[in-house]
Structure 1
């Protein structure tokens, strides 16, 4: 059994676990719209980067502007990164084919998304691809003022893991809306009764 290259969870002979596969699919689907919004937030005037102005007040504080960030967090950079990954995936999957012609961020994200099942099952660099796509998403969200949801800490896992009554005790966390599952012992808390028992058996805080 293999482990996910991002989190180390069991991945059933794949390079990414199901959670990170779903997350990567969503990131690829969201990237074009995110980078279009980046373009709306930061619009260059005619005399170059030094006079870039913010056009969306709702995107959060951006003054003073970091020109190095503006030079790397843009549609062109995202297009370059996703194209390089598309070229490499195609090279590994179909080595007899020539590199695909330039097609743009939207088309490359869509192509990678369509090939995702093959990628997570057969592409050794799947973890690096996922990490770099995640970096692109985080960079864009830092500009548009829409940060990724933060993981919620729910307590510790109360599952008994052996016949001696040993309690797992690993920290439980999840993104909003995700199911509750211990990443250490694999116990899932699916029902309302499961969650009530989880809450009831949390260790008492001492003064």
Structure 2
């Protein structure tokens, strides 16, 4: 094992990353889901339904106002695939007898890697490449959403009820201008006027 950081070559006492780059990686993993939510908002024209982007590649007429190369290369699905492959490999090294983790959303995989980060920087030989690739995903997203990253707005707690009558209760947030929100805990989607009214109506009342 190298005794220096794989990114800056600072002495680390046997860890793959120095403290500064460990903290930076943790922050990037925490921020990626929000960044790529905003990427989706930037690439889907405001005021249109989700997924109504129509490619004009090879068609006659005016060119699409969206950069189709950006659509191909910078999107949440691509980022989720990259991060999930890192999660699969980290789990393979740490628990070689376990099967591969099932497919998950970008937020879940980023959260898992963040929770395992102390072990990763101490024991995982691919830590430097992981940090570089996560940084590259962040840079790609920022070419679209700008800098600093957008800050999510807290809407309240999720009011979705499961089959046993239990209310989810997870915090629901959205980015500025976002009109469709999915709870990251139970996956309930808020996208209609009725959904927003119910969310507002059933928020816990503050005690005076």
TM-score, normalised with respect to structure 1: 0.62
Cα deviation for residue 29 of structure 1 reads 0.2
- What corresponds to 1:34 in structure 2? 35
Q: Which has the larger radius of gyration?
A: 1
- What corresponds to 1:117 in structure 2? 118
Q: Are the aligned partners of 1:3 and 1:16 in contact in 2 as well (CA < 8 Å)?
A: yes
Q: Are the aligned partners of 2:44 and 2:53 in contact in 1 as well (CA < 8 Å)?
A: no
CA RMSD of superposed structures (Å) = 2.0
Alignment partner of 1:100 is 2:101? yes
Alignment partner of 1:23 is 2:24? yes
Cα deviation for residue 84 of structure 1 reads 0.1
Q: Are the aligned partners of 1:138 and 1:147 in contact in 2 as well (CA < 8 Å)?
A: no
Alignment partner of 1:49 is 2:55? yes
Name the CA distance, whole Å, in 1 between partners of 2:21 and 2:110: 16
Gaps of 5+ in 2: 46-50, 58-63, 150-208
TM-score, normalised with respect to structure 2: 0.62
Structure 2 counterparts to residues 120-139 of structure 1, below 5 A: 120-139=121-140
Counterpart of 1:50 in 2: which secondary structure? coil
Cα deviation for residue 12 of structure 1 reads 1.4
Name the CA distance, whole Å, in 2 between partners of 1:6 and 1:69: 28
Q: Are the aligned partners of 2:93 and 2:124 in contact in 1 as well (CA < 8 Å)?
A: yes
Q: Are the aligned partners of 2:86 and 2:130 in contact in 1 as well (CA < 8 Å)?
A: yes
Residue-by-residue CA offset, 1:27-78 (whole Å, 9 max, x unaligned): 0000000000001111176362339xxxxxxxxxxx9643212211100001
Count how many residue pairs are aligned between Structure 1 and Structure 2: 137
Residue-by-residue CA offset, 1:71-129 (whole Å, 9 max, x unaligned): 11100001000000000000000000000011110000000000000000000000000
Counterpart of 2:96 in 1: which secondary structure? coil
Name the CA distance, whole Å, in 2 between partners of 1:97 and 1:18: 30
